[in-house]
Amino acid sequence: MSTSLRNVNRRRRLTPEVRRDQLLDIGAEEFATRAYQEVLMAEIADRAGVSRALIYRHFPTKRDLFAAIYQRASDRLLEITSIRPDLPLAEQVVAGLEAHFDFFVANARTVVEANRGALAGDPVIQDIINSELASLRQGLLDAASLRGHDRAVASTALHGWLAFVRVVCVDWLSDNKLARREVRDMCLRTLVSALGASMDLTSPPRSAT
């Protein structure tokens, strides 16, 4: 990019919403390629062509910026893994796992940072993770049209399984000792074992009664 064009971009006035998205995009790139401690708010502001005061107006701390980036990524993951009642549940579980793997690979450093790095256990980040897992569990339960005790059993099993998938994927990203296919098959076997007969993963979801 030429110096004159860069200066034009720096002077361009954006709406608060567009500016916030720009800062999130730049921040996501930074966190994806550098350790959390190495990312500087001043450098993000410089890349966006704004003052440090402006970036802090949108995100008072670096943790707030990271949390907003993680929240946006989580929202996008939930959007692409939403359950469709017109498709077999088993197919959607497999497709959902593949989408999760794509997400984890594309956001590897950010995911590891949130689960094992500087922000592991941070209450704000943990709330985002818990909310994501709860939404995924709710979608699977609703798709299976379970009621009563069967729903309670499946809910507990899915709670544990979704946490298992996250831990396994973070371990996979950190160590890179297993093939993606091995991780997927491990997750599927664990799900079938955990659910038992409480949720049918071999046929389309039953209609609600």
Last residue of a domain, one of 60, 81, 96: 60
115 and 154 together in one domain: yes
- Per-residue model confidence (pLDDT) at position 13: 77
Query: pLDDT of 108-145, one tens digit each?
Result: 999 999 998 888 889 999 999 999 999 999 988 888 88
Asked if 205 contacts 85 with a C-beta cutoff of 8 angstroms, the reply is yes
Cα 204 to Cα 87: distance, rounded to the nearest angstrom: 6
12 and 105 together in one domain: no
113 and 90 together in one domain: yes
Q: Kindly indicate the confidence band of residue 23, based on its pLDDT and cuts at 50, 70 and 90.
A: very high
Predicted TM-score (pTM) of this structure: 0.81
23 and 89 together in one domain: no
74 and 21 together in one domain: no
Q: For residue 3, how many other CB atoms are within 10 A of its CB?
A: 7
Residue 13 sits in a domain whose CATH number is 1.10.10.60
Give the pLDDT mean for 33-42.
94
184 and 93 together in one domain: yes
Asked if 58 contacts 19 with a C-beta cutoff of 8 angstroms, the reply is yes
Say yes or no to pLDDT of 190 above 70. yes
Residue 19 resides in a domain: yes
Residue 92 resides in a domain: yes
Give the pLDDT mean for 148-166.
92
Which residue range is the domain that position 50 belongs to?
Answer: 3-60
98 φ/ψ sector (left φ>0, alpha ψ -120 to 50, else beta): alpha
Residues 6+ apart with CB under 8 A from 14: 22
Cα 32 to Cα 20: distance, rounded to the nearest angstrom: 18
Angle subtended at Cα 72 by Cα 33 and Cα 55, rounded to the nearest 5 degrees: 70
- Average per-residue pLDDT for the chain: 86
Query: pLDDT of 52-99, one tens digit each?
Result: 999 999 999 999 999 999 999 999 999 988 887 777 888 888 888 999
DSSP symbols for 60-101: SSHHHHHHHHHHHHHHHHHHHT---TTS-HHHHHHHHHHHHH
72 and 41 together in one domain: no
Cα 161 to Cα 141: distance, rounded to the nearest angstrom: 13
Last residue of a domain, one of 15, 41, 60: 60
Q: Which residue has the tokens 């499946």?
A: 154
Round the CA-based radius of gyration of the chain to a whole number and report it: 20
